[in-house]
Structure 1
Amino acid sequence: MTTIDRVSTADPGELSDSRKRLALLILCGAVFLDALDISLLGVSLPSIKTGLGLSDGSLQWLVSGYTVGYGGFLLLGGRVADIWGRRRTFMAATVVFIVASLLGGILTAGGLLIATRVLKGIAAGFTAPAAMSLITTTFREGDERNRALGVFAMTGAGGYSFGLVLSGVLTEIDWRLVFFAPGVIAIAVLLASPLIKADGPRTGGSKIDAAGALTVTLGVMLLVYGLVQAPAWGWASAGTIGTLAGAVALLVAFVAIEARHRSPLVPLSLFRSRSLSTANLVSVVWAGSTIGWQFVATLYLQETLHYSALTTAFAFLPLGVIIVAVAKFAAGPLVGRWGTRAVVTIGMLIQATGVLLYLGVGVGSGYTTAILPGIILHGIGNGLVYPTVNIAGVSGVADERQGVAAGLITASYQVGAGVGVAVLAAVLTATGGADAGVAHFRWAFLVAGLFSVAGLLVGFFGLRPTAAAAVAAPAERAASRPLSEAAAER
C-alpha cells in the first residue's frame, strides 16, 4: 500500500462503538438518498410526461440533469468538505437537497423542474464525498473501515433497488410524491446529523483552488453532458465532437493548473498510489458495464418481453437484495483475508459471466431460466466489486485528503455510468435495423460484458496482491475487534 502525504490517523478511541454505528447509520442515509433519487424517477417518467406535457428531450433531462450536476461537483465537494469541515458541508448540502426536493414536488414548469434536479445533483456532489470521508476518518483503517464501507456500499445498492419499487407504488398514488419522498427522508437525516462527530475547518493551505475547481467542474460536467447527448446528436456530429473536445481541453488545463498550484484541489501526488489509480480505473469500467447492462436489460424486458414498468422494477429487485447481502456480509471479510486484487478480480469475473449469459436471450425467454441467473451473478459481482474499489480508493490517503479521494472514486463511477449508457445506446442504434429482432440487444450485452472483462484485467494487473491485505494488519484487526464483534452479533 502506498502512503499518500500521510497515512490516515483517525483515532477511533474518540467515539464508542455505539456512537460509531449511529454515525454510520446517519451517513449511510446520504448514499441511500443519492441512489434512491437516481432510480425513483424511472417508473414515473411516463406519468410526469403526461401530467406536465413534457417533450422526450425534457423528460430525459429530469434524469440527466441530476447526473450532470452530481458528477460535475464531486471533486469540488470533496475538497470543500476537507477544508470547510465535513459535517458542516454534509449538513449544508442536505439543506439544499431538501429545498430542491420540495420545490420539485410543487413546480409545474418543465424547465424549472429540470433546474431542481440539477440543483439536487449538485447537492449530492457535496454530500456523497463528505459522508464517505466522514466514515473513513471515523473508522480505523483495516477491518473496521472495510466493514463500514461495505455497509455504505450496501446502503447505496439498497436505495437504488428500493427506489425502483417505490417509484411504481408512489406513481400509482400521485407522481409528485416521487419528488417529495427524498426530501422527507433528507429531513430525518438532517435532524440526526448533529450526532455525527464534528470536525472543524482546516487551517493552513485551506484556500480553494479556484482555477482548478472551475476547470475540473466544467470539464466533468461537459464530459457527462456530451456522453448523455451523444446518442441523440450522433457520435460524429459537430455537437458531440465539440463538447467532448471542450471537456478534454478543460481537463488537460486542470492537470496543468494542479501541477503548479501550491494548494491544489486534487494533488497529483494522490495518483502515485497504484491502488488509488487502479481503483478509479476499475470504477469507470465497472460502472460502464453494470449501469449500461441495466439500461439495455430494461429496454429488452419492456420492448421485447413486454414487461410493464412495475413488473420490470420487481424483476430487478433480486439484484439489489443480493448486492446488499454480499456487500454487508462478504466483501469486507474477503478483502481482509485475500486483498483487493483477488476480490475485484473474482467479482468482475462473476459479473462478466452474468452479463454474457444474456447473449442467449430471445423473444420468448423466461424469467427464471434466462433472466434471473444473470441477475443473480450480476448481483454477486456488484456486491464484491463496489465496496472493494471504495476501500482501495481511500486506503493510505491522509485524513485531510479523504474528501478528495472519496470525490474521485465517486466521480469515476459517474463518468463510467455515462460512458456505459452512451456506448451501449450507440451500439443499439447501430445494430438495430428493421429486421434486427433481438440481435441488437445481444450486441449491446456483448459490449457490456467486454467492459466487465476490461475491469477484471485492470484490477488483476493494477492492484498489488498485498495492497488490501496490508490494510487489515493484525494490530489494526485487534484494535477494531469490538466493532467487528458487535457487527457480527447484529
Structure 2
Amino acid sequence: MTALDSRRKQLTLFVLCAAVFLDSLDISLLGVSLPSIKSALDLTDGALQWLVSGYTVGYGGFLLLGGRVADQWGRRRTFLLATVVFVVASVLGGVFTDGTLIIATRVLKGIAAGFTAPAAMSIITTTFREGSERNRALGVFAMTGASGYSFGLVMSGVLTEINWRLVFFGPAVIGVLVLLAGSTYVPADPAREDRAERRFDVGGALAATVGVMLLVYGLVQAPGWGWSSPSALGTLGAAAALLVLFVVVEMRHSDPLVPLSLFRSPVLASANLISVVWAGSTIGWQFIATLYLQETRGYSALETAFAFLPLGIVIVAVAKFASGPLVERWGIRTVATVGMLVQAAGVLMYLAVGLDTSYAGLLLPGIIIHGIGNGLIYPTVNIAGVGGVADERQGVASALITASYQIGAGVGVAVLAAVLTATSDGSGVAHYRWGFLVAGLMSVIGLLIASFGLGRSERRPAAAAEQPGAAATPDAALSER
C-alpha cells in the first residue's frame, strides 16, 4: 500500500468517524437543553420525552433496513443521501416553533442515522483489510461512537447557555462538513452486476422495521404506562409477533434482508448478544447515575454533564491506544471478557453510594474504571460482529451490531427504571443501589457470554488475515469460526 493510499484511507476513516460521532452525539445533545425548550415552546412532559425518544425509535427501527439498502443500493450513495436528510432535519428542527413538528424532525434524524451508521461502518470494513488494519480502524470508529454520547451532554450544556436552538443548528453545521468531505474522500461504490437481478425483501423489511420500532417504543413507554398495562403488553406483544414473522419471512425468501446463515457463526451471534447486555448495563448505569447526582446530590444538569466528561475521555484513550493492539495479541474472547469484567467492577462500585458520597473518592474512580471497560468492549464486539463476513453482507452485519446496541440501551433503561420504581421508598439511596446491582449483573452476563461464546480461535495470524481474499465467502468464513 502506497503512502497516498494510506493517507486517503485515513481521510476516509476520519469522515466516517465524524458521521458516527454526530449520530451518537445527537442522542444526548438535547439532554441539558430540555428545560429551556419546554419553557420556550410550552411543551408537555410527554412531548419533551419524545424529543429524545423519537430519535432513538427512528434510529433503532431503521438500522436493519439501512444496512441492507447500503449493501444493495451502494454504501457511498446511501451514506451521502442520508447525511443530506440529517442536515435538512437538523435545520428544520432549529427553525420550527411547533413542538409536534420538532418531534417529527427528531424522528426523521433518527431514521437518517439508521442509514448512515451501518453504511459508514460497512465502508470501513470493505475499505480496510480484515486483520490488524481493520481492527485499528474499527477501534477508532467505535471510540468516536462511544464517546459521542458523553460529549453530547457537555456540548448540550455549553450550547444551551448561548441559545437552545444551537443544539439543532450545531449538528447541521457538522453534517454539512461531513457531506462535503464525504463527497471527496469516501470511495465510490464498486459496480455490482447482480444488483438489478436481486429481489428486495419487502416483507422482511416491513416486519423488521416496524417490529424493532415497536419494541424500542414499547420499552421507552412501558415505565410510564406500567409493565402490565394493556398498552405495554399490546405494543411489546405486537413487536414480538412481527419479529417472529420476520424470522419466518427470512427463512423462506430467496434473498433475505438478513441472511440467517450469518448466525451460524457463534462468534457473530455472541457479539450481538454481548452488545445487547453491554449497552443495557452501561446506558442503564448512566441513567441511574444521572438521577442520583441530580436528585440526591443536587448537581445541576451542566455539573452532571461535566461529571461524566472523564468517561468519554477514558473511552477515547483506551479504544484508540489499547483495544486494537490487545485484540491482536490476546484475541477477541480475552479482551471482551476482561472488558466486561472491568465494566462490572466499575458499575458495582456504585453499590457503595450514599447521601454524601465523595465524587473524587468513589464516583470518579468508578467512572474511570467503567470507561476502561467501555473502551475495551465496544471496539472488540464491533470487530467480532463483522469479522469473516463477505463484503456484500457487511452492511447487514454492521446494522445488526448497531441495532443490538440500540435495543440493549432501550432494554437497560426500561428495566432499571422499573427497578427504581419497585424499590423506591421515597427516601435514601437504597433504590439506586438496587439499580446499580442489576446493571452490574448485566455486565456479568456479558462476561459469561464473552467467555463461553466467542470461542478460542478469534485471533488470526496477521499475515493471513490481511491477505486480500481471505474469508472471501461468508460460508467459508463462518465455517472457520
Report the counterpart of residue 256 of structure 2 in structure 1.
264
Match of residue 122, structure 1, among 93, 111, 118: 111
How far does residue 158 in structure 1 lie from its aligned partner after superposition?
2.9
Report the counterpart of residue 379 of structure 2 in structure 1.
387
* 2:66–2:116 Cα contact (<8 Å) kept: yes
SS at match of 2:208: helix
Match of residue 240, structure 2, among 216, 239, 248: 248
2:437 is the counterpart of 1:446: yes
Aligned runs of 1:59-458 on 2, under 5 Å? 59-194=48-183, 195-200=185-190, 202-204=192-194, 205-435=197-427, 437-458=428-449
How far does residue 450 in structure 1 lie from its aligned partner after superposition?
0.4
Report the counterpart of residue 3 of structure 1 in structure 2.
none
Q: Distance in 2 between matches of 1:475 and 1:229?
A: 49
Q: Distance in 1 between matches of 2:375 and 2:268?
A: 19
RMSD (Å), alpha carbons: 1.4
Q: Distance in 2 between matches of 1:455 and 1:33?
A: 27
* 2:129–2:467 Cα contact (<8 Å) kept: no
Q: Distance in 1 between matches of 2:397 and 2:387?
A: 9
How far does residue 371 in structure 1 lie from its aligned partner after superposition?
0.4
* 1:209–1:265 Cα contact (<8 Å) kept: yes
* 1:65–1:118 Cα contact (<8 Å) kept: yes
Q: Distance in 2 between matches of 1:228 and 1:161?
A: 20
Match of residue 17, structure 2, among 24, 28, 32: 28
One-letter code aligned to 1:145:
R
Report the counterpart of residue 460 of structure 1 in structure 2.
451
Q: Distance in 2 between matches of 1:444 and 1:476?
A: 42
Q: Distance in 1 between matches of 2:338 and 2:28?
A: 27
Q: Distance in 1 between matches of 2:73 and 2:203?
A: 18
Call closer, same or farther: CA 1:328–1:386 in 2, change over 3 Å. same
Report the counterpart of residue 487 of structure 1 in structure 2.
none
How far does residue 476 in structure 1 lie from its aligned partner after superposition?
4.0
Q: Distance in 2 between matches of 1:429 and 1:21?
A: 47
How far does residue 264 in structure 1 lie from its aligned partner after superposition?
0.4
* 1:82–1:202 Cα contact (<8 Å) kept: no
Report Cα offsets for 1:387-443 as digits up to 9, x if no partner.
0000000000000000000000000000000000000000011111224x1000000
Q: Distance in 1 between matches of 2:211 and 2:2?
A: 41
Q: Distance in 1 between matches of 2:440 and 2:193?
A: 47
* 1:215–1:250 Cα contact (<8 Å) kept: yes
The structure whose RCO (Cα within 8 Å, separation 6+) is larger is 1
Q: Distance in 2 between matches of 1:121 and 1:277?
A: 25
Q: Distance in 2 between matches of 1:475 and 1:65?
A: 44
Call closer, same or farther: CA 1:248–1:13 in 2, change over 3 Å. farther
Q: Distance in 2 between matches of 1:221 and 1:290?
A: 21
2:31 is the counterpart of 1:39: no
Gaps of 5+ in 1: 1-11, 480-490
* 1:293–1:355 Cα contact (<8 Å) kept: yes
How far does residue 160 in structure 1 lie from its aligned partner after superposition?
2.0
* 1:84–1:202 Cα contact (<8 Å) kept: no
One-letter code aligned to 1:424:
L
Q: Distance in 2 between matches of 1:440 and 1:449?
A: 14
Q: Distance in 1 between matches of 2:73 and 2:191?
A: 4
Q: Distance in 1 between matches of 2:251 and 2:429?
A: 49
Report Cα offsets for 1:298-355 as digits up to 9, x if no partner.
0000000000111101100000000000000000111111111100100000000000
Q: Distance in 1 between matches of 2:25 and 2:280?
A: 19
* 1:351–1:380 Cα contact (<8 Å) kept: yes
* 2:207–2:246 Cα contact (<8 Å) kept: yes
SS at match of 1:158: helix
SS at match of 2:148: helix
Work out the percentage of aligned pairs sharing the same amino acid.
72
Q: Distance in 2 between matches of 1:292 and 1:397?
A: 31
Call closer, same or farther: CA 1:97–1:34 in 2, change over 3 Å. same
SS at match of 1:16: helix
Q: Report the TM-score when normalising by structure 2.
A: 0.95
Gaps of 5+ in 2: 469-481
SS at match of 1:232: helix
Q: Distance in 2 between matches of 1:465 and 1:56?
A: 50
One-letter code aligned to 2:45:
D
One-letter code aligned to 1:19:
R
Q: Distance in 2 between matches of 1:196 and 1:41?
A: 29
Q: Distance in 1 between matches of 2:337 and 2:257?
A: 31
Q: Distance in 2 between matches of 1:334 and 1:452?
A: 20
How far does residue 15 in structure 1 lie from its aligned partner after superposition?
7.2
* 1:348–1:381 Cα contact (<8 Å) kept: yes
Report Cα offsets for 1:66-103 as digits up to 9, x if no partner.
00000000000000000010000000000000000000
One-letter code aligned to 1:361:
V
One-letter code aligned to 1:407:
A
Report Cα offsets for 1:36-94 as digits up to 9, x if no partner.
10111111111111111111111111000000000000000000000010000000000
How far does residue 13 in structure 1 lie from its aligned partner after superposition?
7.7
SS at match of 1:440: helix
SS at match of 2:31: coil
Q: Distance in 1 between matches of 2:453 and 2:410?
A: 23
* 1:231–1:422 Cα contact (<8 Å) kept: yes
Q: Distance in 2 between matches of 1:368 and 1:279?
A: 34
Q: Distance in 2 between matches of 1:206 and 1:48?
A: 47
Report the counterpart of residue 478 of structure 2 in structure 1.
none
Report Cα offsets for 1:178-198 as digits up to 9, x if no partner.
011001000000011122110
Q: Distance in 2 between matches of 1:285 and 1:250?
A: 22
* 1:289–1:451 Cα contact (<8 Å) kept: yes
